[in-house]
Amino acid sequence: MKNIAILGSSGGNLYNLGGKEPEKLLGEILNQMDSAGFNVSAIQFIAAEVSMDKAKDSTKAGIFLWDESKRCPVKTYNGLLKDTNDEVAVTDKRIAEKIRNDEIDGLITMSIDPVGANKEAILAAIEKKIPIVGTGGTSMAMISSKGGNVIATSGTTGTTNRTRAVSFITSLSKYWGHKFQPSFNSTAGDSTANPKGNPFKAINLKGIMQASMPGFIAMAIILAASQIPALEDFNNIFEIMLKALPVILAAIAAKQVSDLDEISIVAGVIAGTLSIEGGIIGGIIGGIGAGLLVRFLFAKSVQWRFPMTTANIIAGGFGGLISGLIVYYLVAPFALQAGNFIKFAINSAVEFNPLLAGTLAGILIWPAILGGVYHAAILPIVLLEMEKTGNSFLGSIDMVGLVMVAAGINLANIIAPRDKGEAAVATPGFLINIGFGTFVESAYPFMFSNKLVFLGSLFSAAFGGALVGYFNIRGTAYVPAFMSPLLSNNMTGLIIAMLGSLLCAFIITLIANKASKKQASQINKEISNQNV
C-alpha cells in the first residue's frame, strides 16, 4: 500500500473552487485514495477565511492535520494567518522526517508555500525524488525548479474537488503502475451518486423524473397565471419554460451518470439545449449520453496527462456537444414522435369512453404505487402530458385517486379512530396530504390493517377517477390541494372530483372503524364472560 501526504492551503483561485470548504476538498481526495487502496500518512492544510490573493497578516486562518486515531482531518489551530507558519513548523519537520524514513511514497500539493509552511517537506521530497502531483502555478513551478519529481501539475481554473482528486490519484496510480477505478460516491451525501464501476448502472429514470418535478410544477403555475386577464403575457413565458424542460432533464441526467460536479451540469445543459426539438425524451437521452461521454473523456484526458483545466473543458464541452448533436440530428424526431404517441394514446382512451378511462385509471393507481411501478411507469407519462399542455389527465388521477383518498382515510382516523393512538398518526399525514399534495404512504397503516379500508380506497379512487373522466379534467399533483384546481383546465370539475373521492374514502373508513370497534368490544365481552 502506497502512503501519501497531502499538503496545501485554501489558495487564491482555489479558494473559490473548493478551498474555502477544506473538509469537502480533503474528503474528496480521501475518497479517491480509498478507492485506489492508498493510505494517507499525513495532512497539513492551511485554511484562510478569504482568498490568499486578498489575505493579510491579520486574516483569520485554521490548520487541518491528519488524526490517525479518528482517521480524518481535524482542525487543530484557529488564529491569525501570520502565525500559521510558526504553528505548522513542527508538523512540516515531522512530515519531512517521514519522507526521509520512506514512510511517505508520494505528495499531493495544492497552493502550498515551498519556502515557508512546507519548506522542510518539499526539501525532503526532492531528496528522495518521490512523485509529486498538485495544483497552483507558482508553487508547482518553484518545486519543479528546485528539482522536484513533479509528474502532474495544473492550474485550478475550471476544476472541481472531484476532478482534481481523480486527476491526482490517476497520475500517481499510473506512475506506480497501479490500477485505479475512480469512485463516484458523493462525499456530500448525494443520493444519486454513482458508485465506481459501470456508469450504465447509474442511469436511473425514476431519479431523473422525480428530480425534475419542480420544473414541471413551475411551468404549470405559469400556465395557470396566464389565464388571468392581466397576466396574458405569461403565455410567452410558458413557451420559454416549455423549451427549458429538456434542458432541465438533461442536466439532471448528466449529473446523475457522471457526477463530476459542475462539469456534468455544463455538459447536460449543452446537450439539453441541442435536444429541445426531441422533447423531454430527447432531453433525457441527450443528458445520459453527455454523462457517459463526460466520464470517458475526462478519464482519457487525465490518462494523457492533459492539464486539469483542459481536461475539464474537453469533458464538459465536447461531452455535451457530441451528445447534443447526435440527438439533434438523429434522435430528436423519433423521440418527439414517441412522446406524441403516448399522449395520443391517453387522449384517445379518454375520448373513447371518459368514464371508463377515469374509473380504470383510478382503480389501477393504488396497485401501481403499492407495486413500485408508479414512478417508473405513470410519472413519466404525467410529465409527457404536462410537456404539451402544462397539466395532465393522469396528474388529476394522482391528486384525486391517491392524495385525496389518503386525506379522507387520515381524516376519518382523526375524527373517529379505532383507538386514540391512531389519531396522532393520522394527523400529520392529513396535513401533508392537504398542504403539500403528497405523502400518500401515510394511509398505508390503515389500509393494510383493515381490508374494508383497503377496498374502500380502491373504490374511492375509482369514483374520483370517473369524475375526472366525466368532467374531462387535466391537472397535476405534488402541489397543495387548494392550489391544484387553479392549475387545472376545469377548476369546478376538479374541486367536485377531489371532494368526491375524499368524502367517499372518509365515509368508508368511518364505517370500517366503527365495525372494528364493535367487533373488538364484542370479543372483549365474550372473554369477560368466559372468565366469569
- Taking the C-alpha atoms of residue 60 and residue 84, their distance in angstroms, rounded to an integer, is 10
Q: Which helix (H) or strand (E) holds 110?
A: strand 106-110
How confident is residue 284, by pLDDT bands cut at 50, 70 and 90? very high
Q: What is the pLDDT of residues 496-505, one digit of tens each?
A: 999 999 999 9
Whether the predicted pLDDT of 179 surpasses 80: yes
3 φ/ψ angles, rounded to the nearest 5 degrees: -105, 130
CA dihedral sign of residues 111, 112, 115, 116: positive
How confident is residue 376, by pLDDT bands cut at 50, 70 and 90? low
- Taking the C-alpha atoms of residue 339 and residue 296, their distance in angstroms, rounded to an integer, is 29
For 174, 520, 521, the CA distances from 529, given in Å and listed in that order, are 83, 14, 12
Q: What is the pLDDT of residues 15-38, one digit of tens each?
A: 988 899 999 999 999 999 999 999
3-state SS, 203-271, equals CCHHHHHHHHHHHHHHHHHHHHHCCCHHHCCHHHHHHHHHHHHHHHHHHHHHHHHHCCCHHHHHHHHHH
Q: Which amino acid is it at 207?
A: G
- Taking the C-alpha atoms of residue 184 and residue 174, their distance in angstroms, rounded to an integer, is 19
pLDDT, position 187: 44
Task: Give me the mean pLDDT over the 269-293 stretch.
Answer: 94
3-state SS, 432-476, equals HHHHHCCCHHHHHHHHHCCHHHHHHHHHHHHHHHHHHHHCCCCEC
How confident is residue 473, by pLDDT bands cut at 50, 70 and 90? very high
How confident is residue 200, by pLDDT bands cut at 50, 70 and 90? confident
How confident is residue 327, by pLDDT bands cut at 50, 70 and 90? very high
How confident is residue 188, by pLDDT bands cut at 50, 70 and 90? very low
What spatial distance separates the first Cα and last Cα of the chain, rounded to whole Å? Answer: 77
pLDDT, position 195: 41
**DSSP state, residue 392:** B
Percent of the chain whose predicted confidence (pLDDT) is above 70? 95
Domains and CATH numbers, the chain: 3-176 (3.40.50.2300), 199-346 (no CATH), 353-526 (no CATH)
Whether the predicted pLDDT of 190 surpasses 60: no
- Taking the C-alpha atoms of residue 18 and residue 32, their distance in angstroms, rounded to an integer, is 16
pLDDT, position 530: 67
Give CA 479 to chain center in angstroms.
20
Whether the predicted pLDDT of 6 surpasses 60: yes
**Contact criterion met (CB below 8 Å) for 295 and 166:** no
pTM of the model: 0.73
pLDDT, position 531: 63
Per the document, the length of the chain is: 532
On the CB side of 45, CA atoms within 13 Å amount to 32
Give CA 387 to chain center in angstroms.
22
Which residues of 3-83 form beta strands (DSSP E)?
A: 3-9, 39-48, 60-67, 72-80
- Cβ-Cβ contacts under 8 Å for 530 (sequence gap 6 or more): none
How confident is residue 189, by pLDDT bands cut at 50, 70 and 90? very low
All three cell numbers of 469: 373522466
